[in-house]
Amino acid sequence: MPSFARRLIGLLLILTTVGVTAWQTLAVSCSSPVAAGGIPASASGSAP
Amino acid sequence: MIRLWLVLATLVAVAALILGVRANLRASRRSRRDAAPRWLQAVLLWLLPLPVLIATTVAMARGLLVPLLGNGLGYGLYLAGAWLIWRGLGAERVEPGRPRIRADWPLKTLGGGLIGLATGITAWLGSGHHPAIAAAFALMAWLGCWLFHGGDRRSNAGMHWLGRRDPSSRARSALVAAEQRIEAIEQASRQIAQPDLRDRLDRIGLLAREILILLEEDPGELPRARRVLGIYLEGVQRVVDRYATTHQRAALGPLDERFRQVLEQIETVFREQRDRLVRRDVMDLDVEIEVLTNQLKREGLI
């Protein structure tokens, strides 16, 4: 495999695995329904 | 919110890809030996996992224990892997005109493994993927590192593996000793005022390093070539030391000329030695060793 193609595939793999995992983890952390103290938001009394 | 993050991540990835490919094309045109550009390696190693650090902070602020542990461990492993790969790239980076002996440990492979592990742990505990999916992420990340940064150029001449020295570790020690001697010569030559003499010493150092690289690739020639390197490098070091000492005492004249002649001869022999190693022709090395030894004895240098 030519060196350029090998590096391009490697770059794509790193971006799609490390990049996606990192941003997805951040998104999951931000949108998690659990509030501070480990109490789910639905059980904290704000929801009916 | 998630969609916004994903769109942002995609934009960053595409921008990095375009810039990287452009820089890569330029780099491959500039030099065949140059690997990927240093800034792109730095971005991939140090900046790409940065959202994991932010996610760790967010998880801590929100009191999420499992994501906190997963993201914290993952980010630590990312940093450790990046450091190993960075060191591995630095060890084999060829400075202009100054080749170096390769690293003992497969730093890039180990670093790639850590980055794969970090990706798997982050995907499992941070993103909440199934362990099998997380393992697939880990495998792909490791493969990506291996393809992008390349494998380690391992030395055949004496390899340390898990703390054990293999039978050719003596060869490795000889190469390392020769490299240290070359560095000492280069350091001493910087203090010499005569530009022509300094240039000649630089050329000798460069040739000696090229010989070391060739010997590392073909350690079969090492036993004989080691004698040449030992005698010649010792000779050069003595010339430099003697020159520095005598130059402080008085203006040289005929002595200056003798130093020049000896260095000229050593440069010629080093060049021939290098060419022979390239051609794999070492038949008359012994004769040459004898000639040079006599010459250095005549000059009172050994």
CB–CB of B17 and A13 under 8 A? no
Instruction: Assign 3-state DSSP to chain B and report helix, strand, coil percentages, each to 5.
Output: 75, 0, 20
ipTM exceeding 0.90, yes/no: no
Question: CB of A40 within 8 Å of any CB in chain B?
Answer: no
Question: CB of A2 within 8 Å of any CB in chain B?
Answer: no
Mean pLDDT of B179-189: 78
Is residue B217's pLDDT more than 80?
no
Nearest to residue B255, comparing CAs of B189, B187, B194? B194
Is residue B121's pLDDT more than 90?
yes
Two structure tokens written together for B161:
């593996």
Which residue's entry shows tokens 């080691």?
A: B226
Number of domains comprising chain B: 2
Q: Give the pLDDT confidence score for residue B268 in this predicted structure.
A: 82
Of B52 and B200, the one with more pLDDT: B52
Q: Count Cα neighbours of B74 within 13 Å in the Cβ-side half-sphere.
A: 35
Q: What does pLDDT average to over chain B?
A: 73
Which residues of chain A does B54 touch, with a Cβ-Cβ cutoff of 8 Å?
A: 26
Q: What is the pLDDT of residues A1-48, one digit of tens each?
A: 667 788 889 889 999 999 999 999 999 988 877 655 554 444 444 444
Q: Which of B149, B173, B198 is the C-terminal boundary of a domain? A: B149
Q: Which of B149, B184, B209 is the C-terminal boundary of a domain? A: B149
Distances (CA, A) of A46 to A30, A32, B1, B90: 19, 16, 21, 55
CB–CB of A22 and B55 under 8 A? yes
Is residue B95's pLDDT more than 90?
no
Q: Give the pLDDT confidence score for residue B171 in this predicted structure.
A: 66
CB–CB of B146 and A14 under 8 A? no
Mean pLDDT of B223-227: 65
B153 pLDDT tier (thresholds 50, 70, 90): low
Note whether B179 and B282 are same-domain residues: yes
Which residue's entry shows tokens 């060739």?
A: B214
Residue B287 counted as domain residue: yes
For residue B237, report the phi and psi dihedrals to the nearest 5 degrees. -60, -40
Residue B9 distance to chain A (closest CA, Å): 7
Q: Count Cα neighbours of B125 within 13 Å in the Cβ-side half-sphere.
A: 21
Residue B231 counted as domain residue: yes
Q: Residue B45: which domain range? A: 35-149
